[in-house]
Chain A
Amino acid sequence: MSAPIVSLRDVSKSFASGTLALDRLQLDVGAGEFLTLLGPSGCGKSTALRLIADLLEPTSGAVDWRSGQRPELGFVFQEPTLMPWANVFDNIWLPLRLRRISRANAQKNIEEALSLVGLRDFANAYPRELSGGMKMRVSLARALVLEPAILLLDEPFAALDEITRLKLNDDVLRLQQELRMTVVFVTHSVYESVYLSSRICVFSARPGRVIETINIEAPGQRTTEFRHSQAYADYCRRASAALESTLAKATA
């Protein structure tokens, strides 16, 4: 792993309800890596992501950025989370608009972001006129429009059908390489995590901690070929075993 862009040091998070979501989590995110947080539902993956995004304050511990402060950051939620009253163009304008950049001045960036996700022809469409996969692409374009150094994705494609999900996985991989971004991707799917990542952190059941780290060494492009390889099957088996062990402990 390259030098970390952000480190979570002994981060614990308990909610007002008394739920301890994370317990002294140690996590480094390397600059330029594709890191996946894999874990059972409810183990604190979203909480970890929201701590990184500074949407939550840690109860104890610290989130340290290499640059001293949070850099430009993109976030994609599980739902597309678009403004239904605004068309695609204006939805993507939002992050720029909040920086007080006019529609005209934002146009070039918005069109680039639209091209990145292949939605140039849909600038004037309203969210409800789009399919689930297209809405997710708009959400992705919105996250990319400020050219973030780091992109956080919280189970972004979990609600989509298999074929659309595979397509979007490839798109995210391509974008990460083109834009040289650091990506933190949350999923509960073993296959998705192995296919996408350069590194997987497997979380224990709640309270979440990293119980195993798996480096995925797969030279070259991730393709269907990689999906059918022996290495892929081995990585999947390892990740599954780690998940099963934590689930066994949780129910024991």
Chain B
Amino acid sequence: MNDRLATWLLPLTVFILALTGWEALVVIKGIEPYILPAPSLIAKTIVNDWGVLAASLWVTLKMTFAAILLAIAGGAALAILFSQWKWVERSFFPFAVILQVTPIIAIAPLLLVYLEPNTAVLVCAFIVAFFPILANTALGLASADHNLVDLFDLYRASRWQQLLYLRLPSALPYFLGGIRIGGGLALIGAIVAELAAGASGQATGLAFRIVEAGYRLNIPRMFAALVLISLTGIAIFLFFSALSHVMLGRWHDSARTREQ
């Protein structure tokens, strides 16, 4: 059996075994669904409640992806400004750090005071996704090979040429790494803000469904929403991993499997 098969087969087997164990436990012990629903019931709930859940999923997805796009644009743009003008970096980097180290769960209620709930969710998701993209891209722009920098100087390249032909390509793997982290965090930020908004807002994302289902002791639906959130996170991760693989293609170590 080859390695590639094992990387898929092993975790899949463990996963199926765990689900089977869970299902068996619920059936054998006769556990009530409002205490612990069986996987099959969760699956059924996803199907039966699809109308409500899909609408919420759509809301959360929209927020998350809008935040990711804003964070990519903002993070990359600011990183480029940092790399071109040291004083911009000195002036703004501390604020980026403050935003990063202050727990988003503590910022969310405040944002909800000032902003309309949907905007607050978007801003929360943006804040958490923004920093890793900024930090990674800035690092990448600064890590161009010193000899290549010399070579560009030797040919009297302009700053603009150096940015375009050297610094940006050098930063690409770092940037993509930042997006992969930021993408996952954007979902977390969105969920946190939705939770903080709770029943007060009109926001009807997946986290709101969890809160709402909790009030009604509809535990299977809580699990169903949770499963959808996890799947969204996995999809985001896989999407950006694939993107990174395609974009780095033939040149970067991370995108190539070692020849055996």
Contact = CB atoms under 8 A, between A and B. Distances in A.
Contacts of A128: 250-251, 253, 256
A97 interface: yes
Interface stretch (A37-45, A71-79, A106-114, A168-176): A71-79
Contacts of B251: 84-86, 126-128
A15 B123 CA distance: 48
B96 interface: no
B169 A75 contact: no
Main secondary structure of the interface of A (DSSP, over half): loop
B15 interface: no
B156 A98 contact: yes
Contacts of B250: 126, 128-129
A114 to B, nearest CB: 18
B166 A95 contact: no
B172 interface: yes
A79 B148 CA distance: 10
Interface residues of A, number: 22
A83 interface: yes
A94 interface: yes
B44 interface: no
B153 A81 contact: no
Contact of A83 (B148, B154, B156): B148
B102 interface: no
A50 B147 CA distance: 11
B165 A79 contact: no
B143 to A, nearest CB: 13
B203 to A, nearest CB: 42
A81 B145 contact: yes
Contacts of B148: 81, 83
A75 B151 contact: yes
B152 interface: yes
B163 to A, nearest CB: 13
Given A77-B147, A94-B165, A84 B154 contact: no
A78 to B, nearest CB: 8
A141 interface: no
Contact of B151 (A81, A85, A97, A126): A81
A85 B157 contact: no
Contacts of B145: 81
B10 to A, nearest CB: 30
Interface of B: 145, 147-148, 150-157, 161, 165-166, 169, 172, 250-253, 256
Sorted nearest first, the 5 A-B pairs with minimum C-beta distance are A81-B147, A98-B155, A85-B169, A85-B251, A84-B251
Given A55-B154, A128-B250, 4 more contacts: A55-B153, A86-B169, A86-B251, A128-B253
